[in-house]
Structure 1
């Protein structure tokens, strides 16, 4: 069973084929969720899984469940999943490696005419990145019960187009209810690039992920005064953009003062956009993360207190301070993690690292409903969300083989557990 290995050349070919849609001249990817390139790669994905004897279901959030039957089809399938959407200036591996590794694991099972005990499913989750339709992990969040379908459908992009309207436009608004109850899984396994430097620093290909740190997103809107830059004395201004700059510096300082926490501002907008007029309104977002829910709550309190003090001193009003997304710390299921651990011991001769993920993934929301585990693979310089994002085919192959072994081990676990009852 565990001696099966994926076809390396076919896996590499899948990247060449699927990454033609959304490819950018700098070698990266711009395949925002539900755009035309996302439609094309979804259609390609459906063709590939149909060739493996899968039945395909699309739910009301556009999640694609491709299921190969097993011996006991009364059991929910063991899921392997990730996402095919990317950041606007992203790379070819974030999310994509998870779907293509799962597809290759499925093909390997099919090529070897292996009858698994439980069905096996490959899942493409919609809008994991949240780059076009915030928040991140939207459709897996609806499936996992974190968001309502109405909330998911009504999320809009910068032009006002909604998730539901774009699903309709590209032909992937399914009629199956988006929920664990309508599309249950027995477990969920996900391969992903690490998006950090730890594996490379230790010259390891594979990480066994035991959980995900706590995360919050905030929307902040400041109101000062539009004033002429040439006629308003420096000491008589309510300079909103300057106030925001002070806040951003303080946000960084607060995170530095709390070991185990992170806080970042990567989006900022100001109006009016005139070179000789002080901005009267500034909007920015904060990404805050921590190793525990308690530490993140402490960081949140410090961030808000510091920003309110700065606003008061500068004569600027905080019109909005809103936590727009909350994702508590996730601990993955020990049995599922152990299957990944055993597979990694075999595939990588025991050379792997146990890790906590600093980034969110669809597995965060599947873990709310089913046993879940993740596999990280090494990425060059720890760079992600960037066109130079890169993982070697050898590392991708290793991750896919660990995934294949973990899923087959979990299938054996289900068989033994089910037959003993």
Structure 2
């Protein structure tokens, strides 16, 4: 099977067809979980997988699984997958490439009448993006036990609509318990969402580590007053404090190797031109692939906010409501081996974003394959990659999965 290759044009055509579901001007895609567009995408995925000889089922959180039998169906399956939901102003490739790369693996095995030693599965994880319902990576998080099933089904969007009701409405809540499948390995192919591979002129990124992430809600309570009548020394200005914290987030990131810090969301009250902001709620995102370093970054943020609150006589609360621990991908050797044998240039890299494979690594060996994207742009309608780059990543996925299947069968 060393000469086995996927069909580049078929994969690309499928990416474009899926991208038309929720397609936006500028070549992007807006397909949020639980919507009619989500249903259309899931239905299309089901049809494609069934045509490739797979059986499709879904669990109580709407996570989907397309299973192709192997020689010994009692053995753990070798799995791949990602997500079909997008950002509100997303592109056509984030997550979707990983799902359709899996579909292309099924098609390639099917048309060549290849019986794998173990079963092969392709999954679609519900609400990876966390755009309409929070948190991100919700489906895989429920599957591995990071999140409680009922609690997550009860999450509501900004209009008060319940996620469980939406999944029921579109017909994608099943009877299968999350976490109950017999899986032995999980791979995820994904566009890099960063500029490193393109800058280094490499075709494949062998993902060794997954970035640790801490997300915070920071609330500052000062005093709203008239901007023209309140002297500077008598103000309790929440905006100035928010600006100082934002600057400190950048400094924290610069102080630590591989550190990243972002303030990307902010709500200001009363948000008027001539009123000193009385309260501000904003998000902080800290990342580092080293758990100890990330803990230090957390301590520095909390200490700075505490000191600032005392200095300016403000109330500042820092809620670290989500922590995603750094991940070591144990199947990176399979990815590297496949890239070498296929003759693709490659390099070691770490995942700067959260991915479903990171959660799956909680319960089984996992691996990730990165492919370049133009200028590193993602979560944006300008997200671009090429048919050749998708082909290379999917060929690596195919051969990495075959290698893992043979190894599991030999154990």
Counterpart check, 1:240 vs 2:238:
yes
The answer to whether the Cα contact below 8 Å between 1:76 and 1:119 also exists between their aligned partners in 2 is yes
Aligned-pair CA distance for 1:350 = 5.2
Counterpart check, 1:62 vs 2:62:
yes
Q: 2: distance between equivalents of 1:258 and 1:341?
A: 29
Q: 2: distance between equivalents of 1:150 and 1:399?
A: 36
Counterpart check, 1:301 vs 2:296:
no
Q: 1: distance between equivalents of 2:407 and 2:36?
A: 41
Unpaired runs of 5+ residues, structure 1, are none
Q: 2: distance between equivalents of 1:288 and 1:170?
A: 35
The corresponding residue for 2:290 is: 292
Q: 2: distance between equivalents of 1:54 and 1:105?
A: 11
The corresponding residue for 2:359 is: 365
Question: Where does 1:305-316 land on structure 2 (aligned, <5 Å)?
Answer: 305-316=303-314
Aligned-pair CA distance for 1:278 = 2.3
State which of 367, 380, 387 in structure 1 corresponds to 2:381: 387
The corresponding residue for 1:210 is: 208
The corresponding residue for 1:81 is: 81
The answer to whether the Cα contact below 8 Å between 2:209 and 2:289 also exists between their aligned partners in 1 is no
Aligned-pair CA distance for 1:368 = 0.6
Q: 2: distance between equivalents of 1:281 and 1:30?
A: 32
Deviations for 1:299-347, whole angstroms, at most 9, x for unmatched residues? 00101111222232222211x32111111111111xx222211110122
Q: Specify whether residues 89 and 277 from structure 1 end up closer, same or farther in structure 2 by C-alpha distance, changes over 3 A only.
A: same
Counterpart check, 1:29 vs 2:29:
yes
Q: 2: distance between equivalents of 1:233 and 1:43?
A: 62
The answer to whether the Cα contact below 8 Å between 1:343 and 1:405 also exists between their aligned partners in 2 is yes
The corresponding residue for 1:271 is: 269
State which of 313, 329, 348 in structure 2 corresponds to 1:332: 329
The answer to whether the Cα contact below 8 Å between 2:75 and 2:182 also exists between their aligned partners in 1 is no
The answer to whether the Cα contact below 8 Å between 1:2 and 1:408 also exists between their aligned partners in 2 is no
Unpaired runs of 5+ residues, structure 2, are none
The answer to whether the Cα contact below 8 Å between 1:76 and 1:185 also exists between their aligned partners in 2 is yes
Question: Where does 1:10-409 land on structure 2 (aligned, <5 Å)?
Answer: 10-179=10-179, 182-318=180-316, 320-333=317-330, 336-347=331-342, 349=343, 351-409=345-403
TM-score for the superposition, normalised by structure 2: 0.97
Deviations for 1:387-409, whole angstroms, at most 9, x for unmatched residues? 11111110000000000011111
Identify which range, 274-283 or 21-30, moves more after superposition: 274-283
Deviations for 1:92-138, whole angstroms, at most 9, x for unmatched residues? 11111100111011100001111111111110011111122121111
Q: 2: distance between equivalents of 1:184 and 1:331?
A: 22
Deviations for 1:230-266, whole angstroms, at most 9, x for unmatched residues? 2222222111122111211111112212222111110
Aligned-pair CA distance for 1:357 = 1.1
Query: Alignment length, in residue pairs?
Result: 411
Q: 2: distance between equivalents of 1:102 and 1:295?
A: 35
TM-score for the superposition, normalised by structure 1: 0.95
Q: 1: distance between equivalents of 2:67 and 2:162?
A: 29
The answer to whether the Cα contact below 8 Å between 1:206 and 1:399 also exists between their aligned partners in 2 is yes
3-state SS in 1 of match to 2:405: helix
Q: 2: distance between equivalents of 1:16 and 1:200?
A: 22
